[in-house]
Amino acid sequence: MFHLFFVNDNYYYFFRLHQLLCERLLKMFQQSLRLIEQENSSQRNRPTSAASVLRLSNRPNIPVDEYYSAFLDMVRNLLDGNMDASSYEDSLREMFGIHAYIAFTMDKIIHNCVRQLQAIVTDESLDAIMRLYSRPNGSVGLVDNLYSTSQQNAEAAYQREMETYADGNRLFRICSFKNDRRVTTSLIVVDSSDDDDEERIVENGTYYAEKYLHGNEGDYDDTTMARLRAKLRKKPRFLHRYD
């Protein structure tokens, strides 16, 4: 089963930044686990180096198994202004080596997340999007990959309601699969053209051409008139002329 959420640009930017933040936290956590394994392996297979005994190594005075928690504390201190960016980056290099670059812009990602979240909370149109999603029948469920007709109709109605909040004729369809622990996103281009207006333009153009031919029959031979009328019966598209 999945939960369906149609969103505009603001919501999409927030979800994308949140995903980026989670990915980088996961990478730093995985790297800290690898460093713990390397540390345990080196302690078993070789004696303590002279540089470590003489305290000449560049490694920080933090146990390897506390690297990740220390990293989170440094991010908090950086956001609170208790740590400058250069010290933050230097400390990360000492702990994580060449993999530290992943977390260099962590504060910027968090700031942008907060900015987007603030826009979502304060904008009335964005609040309306959340109300549409929060209705009892506002989400579409999918069970065993069987998409019933009623579910398709519910999704189509939900999308039509959301089209009024689209940014630049585009929506994003976000599906959250709880059991699979995954989220999918797809772009939907909203067709803003009006079929009635299109038909009216074609009819007006055809009417004008027919009236012109009828009033100027003497200026063309029968073959030319027949060919022009045959083309008009195909309802060609007349382009607007701009002078």
Q: How far is it, in rounded angstroms, from Cα 198 to Cα 237?
A: 9
- Domain identity same for 20 and 93: yes
Residue-level pLDDT at 212: 62
- Domain identity same for 35 and 103: yes
- Strands 2-7 and 182-189, by their bridges, are unpaired
- Domain identity same for 46 and 105: yes
Does 179 reside within a domain? Answer: yes
Q: What pairs with residue 186 in β-bridges?
A: 173
Does 174 reside within a domain? Answer: yes
Contact assessment for residue 113 and residue 14, using Cβ atoms and an 8 Å cutoff: yes
- Domain identity same for 19 and 106: yes
Residue-level pLDDT at 199: 58
Residues of 234-243 as b/e, b for ≥16 C-beta within 10 angstroms?
Answer: eeeeeeeeee
Residues contacting residue 232 through CB under 8 Å, at least 6 positions apart: 206, 209, 210, 213
Does 242 reside within a domain? Answer: no
- Domain identity same for 147 and 105: no
- Domain identity same for 32 and 107: yes
101 three-class SS: helix
Contact assessment for residue 225 and residue 213, using Cβ atoms and an 8 Å cutoff: yes
Containing structural domain, residue 64: 11-111
Residue-level pLDDT at 165: 85
- Domain identity same for 143 and 222: no
Query: Which among 118, 102, 104 is positioned nearest to 13, based on CA atoms?
Result: 118
DSSP for residue 123: -
- Strands 170-177 and 182-189, by their bridges, are antiparallel
Point out the domain boundary residue: 171, 189, 207: 189
- Domain identity same for 183 and 201: no
Residue-level pLDDT at 215: 60
The structure tokens listed for 180 are 């699979």
**Mean pLDDT, the chain cut into blocks of 10 residues (243 residues total):** 84 92 95 90 59 51 89 94 92 91 93 92 87 67 58 82 84 84 84 57 61 62 72 59 48
